[in-house]
Amino acid sequence: MRLQRFIAQSGLTSRRKAEDLIVEGKVRVNGRMITELGSTVDPKEDVIEVDNVPLRLPDEFQYIVLNKPKGVITALSDPEGRPTVIDLLQGMVKERVFPVGRLDFHSEGLLLLTNDGDLANDIIHPSSKIKKVYEVKIFGHLSEGMLNKLKSGVSYHGTFLKPYSVRILQQLQNKTWLEFTLEEGKNREIRKICAGAGITIDRLRRISIGGLTVEDLAPGKFYFVDRKKLTNFVFYKERTGDGAKKALSTKKYFKSVKRRKDVVLANSDHYYKFRKEHYQSTMKSRKEGEDGGRPLVVENRSPRVKAALEEERFVDLG
């Protein structure tokens, strides 16, 4: 068995990251450092160590479907003491598992965990082209031009990022629900796309990977699934050869942009204060009344908004 495959199947990490560990000189076989990819080992005879910790193949592979809540990190442990996705498993997992891909601290939704490194690598590798669907709530409304810009892709710090598809699911009073579909799923891709377009995200959740969804699974809950069922769902679109460019969600959506005159556009500077780096201080200021407790609205306010402001009341931002 190839060394990187053994490391992956031991449940330590994916095969791609196992290759990095080998190149970095962190892997030893029978006490000898191995840095060349392609080396083979005998799991029954050889002693394989990563950072001086012996590895073994698991007695059984486990596959877990989790609906990650916001405020939990996608990691095995955290030096800052924040809750991790492993904490959510409540000691109910026999083998050591790891997350397949990532969702950042502020994101939520579908996350897979397993100790099957081969399958994890197949799912996250760009060549698999597995479509992942996200529901994203942003501040403000979109113009037709802004929606087209998101669909066409944006440049973020010199990198061009383009989603597979974008559509509007729902327009609230001062926010909008969008649906993003990604094919490769680069690190924090949706957040970077929105930042590149000057748009501030309020909420982001992944609802499906391929044909697998967590729409009926409560946040923080999980269930075990067997490998065959998992692969049938995750690789569903690829197996059927469905190359049609369409979103996987069945939810209704707006075929055209519906603009309201009494809301701020999503790319307005008004919403910068709600970005991650400013959010806590903004909420504290609003709570303490430093900004008069007034919502972010345009100067051309509707009669209902004007009346609310005159009475010093908050207006629901949706």
Reading the block at residue 28, the tokens are 């030893």
20 is known as an active-site residue: no
Contact between residue 209 and residue 112 where contact means Cβ atoms under 8 Å apart: yes
Q: Give CA–CA dist 91/140, Å, rounded.
A: 42
Residue with tokens 């690829």: 238
Whole-number CA gyration radius for the chain: 23
- The 3-state secondary structure of 204-217 reads EEEEEECCEECCCC
CB 205 within 8 A of CB 192: no
- Per-residue burial over 174-192, b if 16 or more Cβ lie within 10 Å, else e, is bbbbbbbbbebbeebbbbb
> What is the Cβ-side half-sphere exposure of residue 197, based on CA atoms within 13 angstroms?
28
Query: Dihedrals φ, ψ of 90, to 5°?
Result: 55, 40
Query: Among residues 78, 104, 118, 262, which one is catalytic?
Result: 104
Please, what is the angle between helix 15-23 and helix 117-124, to 10°? 100
Longest Cα–Cα distance of the chain, Å, equals: 79
Q: Are 149 and 161 in contact (CB under 8 A)?
A: no
b/e map of 219-239 (b: 16 or more CB within 10 Å)? eeebeebeeeebbebbbbbee
Q: Which residues are catalytic?
A: 104
